[in-house]
Chains A and B, each alone.
Chain A
């Protein structure tokens, strides 16, 4: 494989941009969550720090940064320190393979794709790295050497493992209908319109898989209605009880970056990625600057809608009890996922 200089520079630049975008997920989503939660509750969210409260996340970051860095005496030191780091590293790693937009012609010979890396096994890579995210919650709870975090981390590990299976089954149907594991191929597959009217996004062609994946994604992110590991009312903060200051902020950052990543993944796999319904942004004649930049905007709008749905769900629904949650994962989603695969396979052969 020959790597030209331009490829190396472009990849490094993209990696830097994606890393920054991943870290910026947290302030944007924290602000959005607090404001939207306020509006849903008939009140205003934070609106004093900066115009309309836009500088609130900065104030929060500064506060977390200046808090005392405690290390409780009885914790398992290495695991306790590493857990939040894994929490934030995993979603950013996953962001590397998401296609953010159609390609643009950078120079005459080189087309810039808006994806840091496009491996042939993109979907497998994503599923694998997401599994590593379980370590964050498990280690955080176990290393804290305290009962409430232990309960939280036990719940978290069981929950995340179960819902990953449901997620994978939903993804398999998508991969089957696309015929490839490459994420860019999945987006390209959705880039057409059926009869020129309805875009062939997988949320329309595979609605059940979309539903299963969405539910599993919310469960993977430990958001209400699946937020048993960290619910305040039962376990005092769950697996991040013993953390404070910057380490707690890193857990929060990891959680919000994971929400950002999952939203991006849902957009890529089910909502057509960067494609617009009737306007072709990656025409067969070749990549164009306009198409590329508009596609990034389209992606961001869709991402924002999915993230809004995450926040919307959180403040509307009560949470599941532990056994009901596991029952839903194993007894409802997994059989549905398998049925969906069977139906997709059947229709794929027949049609």
Chain B
């Protein structure tokens, strides 16, 4: 198999260093990733990465599915924050179509996007702690995620794979007590952040393990295309919510969190503070959201008509039929739209040939670009540092390999 020989050729077997295969099936790997590390004692002298164990052909599948059908696939890329992927995708398709969703839908999407950001960051902090030995915060993270799952389940019926938005709106309207449910869901996040700070932030064991570890300098981060908390912890205040606003981010007030330390500790603090900013954004959105209003665009060439009209009116039935069988009427063209996913810049590049199925669809997965400078971060360091650095990058293998 070509992969094996390629990796083997970069590894110098004649040297005295031990070759350790931190292999695809390993308790700490976030998914199936392989690092072929040459060790000199405990120090990694050379690391070669191998990815692709989880490649499922998501992008190829897009050529054979309509846009709303492929939406269900986007859930499974970054399965920790599924709604972020969904919303990013529908925004890209809507950019190509040139439709604007109604006010209320945009606010709801903003709230859901931030809730999935909370869900992802909470999980990553827990996993970082677990990979470094403190196993308790991970269970507390999952407790917070459970309350967020309940919000998602009330909206759309799914807890992990939501597929809630549709091109041109949402699949269903949110429940009547949506605001109360969201407020209940985020109630525990601030106290969770404070509790984690009590357990970890000033603990010298944690500081020794995370400060100065996994350094990614500003120049390297920019050159490799890293985005998200990884980039912001290296000192670059680049956040698409401020630099290229979408949805309702230009109407709420929040800060972009950066850090100058470029290390694992910096990423940990950036994520913690981003969680607090996300709670701020959600609270503002809940206050500013209109109480009533349409959810979907008014164009039945793009989104399914409501069922009452389908049962009675012939025209709606025909729209419904055409949308299901052939997909929506897309113009010929291409568009790239990126959003600030919890991991970084998640971009969808949609090439449409005028039919209901995309001609080509490429996903700019932030994890893929964040993972590339990983050998830089670990060469010359010990195995324990490699694990800490990997945990701080928040590698989600579904998104990495697609």
A: which residues have CB within 8 A of B?
37, 40-43, 147-148, 151, 224-225, 227-228, 231-236, 315-324
Contact = CB atoms under 8 A, between A and B. Distances in A.
B64 to A, nearest CB: 39
Contacts of A227: 133
B26 A318 contact: no
28 contacts: A40-B136, A41-B135, A41-B136, A41-B139, A42-B143, A148-B20, A151-B383, A225-B133, A227-B133, A228-B384, A231-B133, A233-B130, A236-B27, A315-B135, A317-B205, A318-B132, A318-B203, A318-B206, A319-B133, A320-B205, A320-B208, A320-B209, A321-B209, A322-B382, A323-B42, A323-B382, A324-B205, A324-B208
A322 B384 contact: yes
B265 to A, nearest CB: 12
A318 B140 contact: no
Contacts of B132: 233, 318-319
Interface residues of B, number: 30
Nearest to B204: A324
Interface of B: 18, 20-21, 26-28, 42, 129-136, 139-140, 143, 199-200, 203, 205-206, 208-209, 382-385, 387
Main secondary structure of the interface of B (DSSP, over half): helix
Contacts of A234: 28, 383-384, 387
Contacts of B205: 225, 317-320, 324
B133 A318 contact: yes
Contacts of B136: 37, 40-41, 315-316
Contact of B131 (A37, A233, A317, A322): A233
A324 B21 CA distance: 24
A234 B28 CA distance: 7
A117 to B, nearest CB: 38
Contacts of A225: 133, 205
**Residue in A147, A224, A228, A233 whose Cβ sees the most chain B Cβ within 10 Å:** A233
Binding site of A, secondary structure by majority: helix, strand, loop or mixed? loop
Nearest to A40: B136
Contact of A224 (B21, B133, B199, B200): B133
Given A147-B18, A318-B129, A43 B139 contact: yes
Nearest to B391: A233
A99 B71 CA distance: 69
B27 A317 contact: no
B133 A317 contact: yes
A109 B200 CA distance: 59
Contacts of A320: 205, 208-209
Contacts of A40: 136
A317 B139 contact: no
Contact of B42 (A41, A236, A316, A322): A322
Contacts of A224: 133
Given A315-B135, A318-B129, A318-B134, A233 B27 contact: yes
Nearest to A224: B133
A321 B18 CA distance: 20
Nearest to B386: A234
Contacts of A324: 205, 208-209
Contacts of B387: 233-234
Nearest 9 Cβ contacts at the A-B interface: A319-B133, A41-B139, A233-B28, A318-B134, A318-B133, A318-B132, A321-B384, A232-B27, A233-B131
B134 A316 contact: yes
A193 B200 CA distance: 40
A336 to B, nearest CB: 16
A316 B131 contact: no
A224 B132 CA distance: 10
Given A320-B205, A321-B208, A41 B140 contact: yes
B231 to A, nearest CB: 25
A22 to B, nearest CB: 28
Given A232-B28, A233-B27, A318 B383 contact: no
A319 B200 CA distance: 12
A317 B385 contact: no
A321 B385 contact: yes
A316 B199 contact: yes
B240 to A, nearest CB: 32
Contacts of B384: 228, 234, 321-322
Contacts of A232: 27-28
B200 A318 contact: yes
A239 to B, nearest CB: 15
Contacts of B385: 321
A321 B206 contact: no
A293 to B, nearest CB: 38
Contacts of B209: 318-321, 324
B252 to A, nearest CB: 32
A159 to B, nearest CB: 12
A316 B143 CA distance: 17
A80 B20 CA distance: 22
A43 B139 CA distance: 9
A151 B134 CA distance: 21
A40 B387 CA distance: 25
A321 B21 CA distance: 20
Contacts of A147: 18, 20-21
A227 B135 CA distance: 13
A316 B195 CA distance: 12
Contacts of B383: 151, 234-235
A225 B133 CA distance: 8
Contacts of B42: 151, 322-323
Given A151-B42, A320-B205, A320-B208, 12 more contacts: A148-B20, A231-B133, A234-B28, A234-B384, A235-B383, A317-B134, A317-B203, A318-B133, A318-B205, A319-B209, A320-B209, A322-B384
